[in-house]
Structures are given as structure tokens and as C-alpha cells.
Amino acid sequence: MVSNKTYVTEGLILNHRDFGETDLLVTLFTKSFGKVPVVARRAKMPNSKFSSGVQLLNKVKVSIGRGRNLDHLNECEIIDSFQTIKSNLTLLSKGLFSSELVVNFIQDRTPNFQVFNALEQNLNNLETQKNIDQSMIWFQLQLINVSGVFPEFMVCINCNENLKRKDHVFYSEIGGINCDNCINVNADLYHGVTILEDSLGFLRHIQRVIRSSKPYFFDKYLDDNTLNDLNKFLRIYLTYTAERQMKSIKFLDLVN
């Protein structure tokens, strides 16, 4: 529902920080309007009507007033507060990591249903403690894909030959792998990480799924070795791309 002065939508609270003496600046990821910064006036005051609503990771229904520079929260009703996640430090760290990734990877005010659904699904899986590790990996791969930086795992980045089924070194700078013949082509790369054969098999499967654009239900079983390996790869690649992504988002904000 939209009027000139207010809009109503559902959203997830990604983060917030102090804004003056009594207010909070909340980053809200909304279904219909994307990621929006909103001021929650007097949210730091005792008995504020917003104090429980703007807790991190809450799913909320909000009414937002448009401002000249910043929008502000009129109403904030909790739909789901993910209490199981918040009562367990491991789950909480995974939930906060997921929301931080969205903050870093997604531009403000650009609706993105796919990422909204992926984050909500991931939080639901954490809340019900259903295939947590698988869910985290699937969420990160979807985010990488939507951001347009899904790597190449099928063929050599340099000569386009199919990669052999074995362990390979992946380089974040080139978003892929050099085959054995091309291993010396990019001698100046240093963001390398070895990906094991089984993990590469899984990543190729995901690459095929993503390229086919068909609806996909993620239900792959991954053993502990593969999970650890994928987590190591994702940590290195996401850190590298988030830095680049952040620079491009800052640039976009600067020129718009």
C-alpha cells in the first residue's frame, strides 16, 4: 500500500545504529522496496513503542513515513521474532552473518524478491534448526548469484577447456580456476583457495541449476568434509567480493 506520504510493507531488521541521543537508524530489508534506511524516533527511550519491534532479525510489518532526506518509522508490528535463533549464540551468529551479507551485497531501494525470500527461508531454517549448514551455504550461493558474481567451475578461465575431475585452486580475482596447462598464466594472483573434487562437483551442480533458471529445491546431502571445504571457499570469496561490492555500492551512492 503506497501513498505519497506513507507506505506499508513487510521487512526484516538487518541492523541498526545510534542516531542522535534518542533515535535509531534502522536498516530494513523490505519485500516491496528493497533495503531502506529508516529512522526510529525515540527508539532508545524507555518504554518506546519501537524498542521490541526494531530488534535485529525481526520480521515486521511497518508503516513508513517518507522524509525529505530519511524516511521514518510510523508503526512497527512484529510478525516473527525468531526467538530460537536469539536464544542460541551459534544460531544468532549465523543469522547476523546472513543479514550482514545482505547489507553488504544489496543496494539500497532496489526491490529484490529472490534475496528477500532466500534470507527469510534461511532464517526459518535456523529457527527450526533444519539442515543449518546446508541452508547457510545455499543462502550464500544464491546471494553470490543474484549479485552477478557467481564463479565459473566447469571450464578453465583462460583456455575454456573442461576442468578435470580433481582438486583445483580457485582464484577470487579471476572468479574461477586455471587448468593445469594454464596454471602459470596468472602468476600475480594470490587470493587462491584449494577446492576439493567433491566440493567442485557440488558447485558445478549448482552452476548448472542456476544457468537453467528452473525452480530448484535444495536438498543435497553434504558430508562434513565438503561442508568445511565449501565454507572455507565461501569465506574467502565473499570477503574478496564484498570489498569490491562495497566499493561499487559506495560509488553508486556517490554518483546518484
What residues make contact with Zn ion under the rule CB under 5 A? Answer: 156, 158-159, 179, 181-182
**Smallest distance, Zn ion to C-beta of residue 157, A:** 8
Query: Burial of 148 by CB count in 10 Å (0-12 exposed, 13-18 middle, 19+ buried)?
Result: exposed
**Could you give the strand order of the β-sheet that contains 176-177, starting from the edge strand earlier in sequence?**
176-177, 168-171, 192-195
User: In terms of CB distance, is 174 or 236 closer to Zn ion?
Assistant: 174
- Give the N- to C-terminal CA distance of the chain in Å, as an integer: 26
CA distance 183 to 164: 13
Could you write out the DSSP letters of every residue in 133-202? HHHHHHHHHHHHHHTT-PPP-SB-TTT-PBPPSS-EEEETTTTEE--GGGTTTTTT---EEEE-HHHHHH
Q: Compare residues 103 and 182 and give the one whose CB is closer to Zn ion.
A: 182
Sign of CA dihedral 125, 126, 132, 137: positive
Query: Of 70 and 159, which CB lies nearer to Zn ion in the complex structure?
Result: 159
Cβ at position 173, least distance to Zn ion in Å: 16
Q: Toward Zn ion, which CB reaches closer, 103 or 174?
A: 174
> Shortest Cβ distance from residue 198 to Zn ion (Å)?
22
Residue placing its CB nearer to Zn ion in the complex, 3 or 184: 184
Task: Take residue 133 and report the three cell numbers written for it.
Answer: 549448514
Q: How far is CA 143 from the centre of its chain?
A: 5
Beta carbon nearer to Zn ion, 95 or 176: 176
Question: To the nearest whole angstrom, how small is the minimum distance from the Cβ of residue 183 to Zn ion?
Answer: 8
By C-beta, is 178 or 226 nearer to Zn ion? 178
Least spacing, CB of residue 226 vs Zn ion, in Å: 25
Strand 176-177 relative to strand 6-19: parallel, antiparallel, unpaired? unpaired
Grid look-up 534448526 returns 129
To Zn ion, the closest distance from the beta carbon of 160 in angstroms equals 7
Produce one character per residue of 168-197: b if its CB has 16 or more CB atoms within 10 Å, e if not: bebbbebbbbbbeeeeeeeeeeeebbebbe
- Least separation in angstroms between residue 168's CB and Zn ion is 11
